Amino acid sequence: MKLSLFQENRLLSETGENNEIDIAPVMNMFIVLVTFLISMAVFTHVAIMEFTLPPNVGAGLDQSKGKPKLRLTVRVGSDYMGIVLGDKLLDSLPVAQGKFPFDTLAAKLQMRRKETAPQSAFQDEIVIASRDEIAFKQVIHVMDICRETGFSKVGLSSATVNPEAGK
């Protein structure tokens, strides 16, 4: 009596060849699935950033009476970036060869936010005043920095050449 039952009972195909799995249906299913998923795929996610206009622009006129309240302002220009409170230039960060000092701006903003908290009635508000020639992506970058620094309300405005002189 032979001990090996497996060898005796092994099923072979009729031709005696090894069976091959037919993967054509699997391929068909894959092609359909991949096509469907590619058509439904979202490769870029969009988001929004909210901002307001300065209170003295357009229909959104500031109805509040009395002295204007001080807000920190970031001046964005192709010559320098500045942090301004009222008409006082607190920091000036030169733009060298078109490279904006965003890292320095973030650090300075953090510091100035703490310093000006007692003077400023709007600790979470900031105005970004940009010069006309600045590309919009740079303004968005500054808005990102302001938001990450803790300013939840961002206003957009137009910058003067010299913030201290107001011109």
Which positions lie near other proteins, rule CB under 8 A?
17, 23-24, 26-27, 30-31, 33-34, 37-38, 40-53, 57-60, 130-137, 139-141, 143-144, 147-148, 156, 158
Question: What's the min distance (Å) between Cβ of 64 and other proteins?
Answer: 15
DSSP 68: P
Pairing of strands 72-76, 88-94: unpaired
CB closer to other proteins, 5 vs 21 = 21
Rounded CA gap, 163 and 79, in Å?
13
Q: Which is nearer to other proteins, 7 or 63 (CB)?
A: 63
CA–CA distance, 6 with 9 (Å, rounded to integer): 5
56/119 with CB nearer other proteins: 56
Nearest-CA neighbor of 107 among 79, 139, 83, 130?
A: 83
Cα–Cα distance, 79 to 92 (Å, whole number): 10
Q: How far is the CB of 50 from other proteins (least distance, A)?
A: 5
Q: At what angle do helices 102-116 and 136-149 cross, to 10 degrees?
A: 40
Nearest approach, Cβ of 8 to other proteins (angstroms)?
26
Nearer Cβ to other proteins, position 79 or 115? 79
* Minimum distance from residue 48 beta carbon to other proteins (Å): 4
* Residue 9 C-beta: closest distance to other proteins, Å: 26
- Cβ proximity to other proteins: between 8 and 50 the closer is 50
Identify the H or E element spanning 5.
helix 5-9
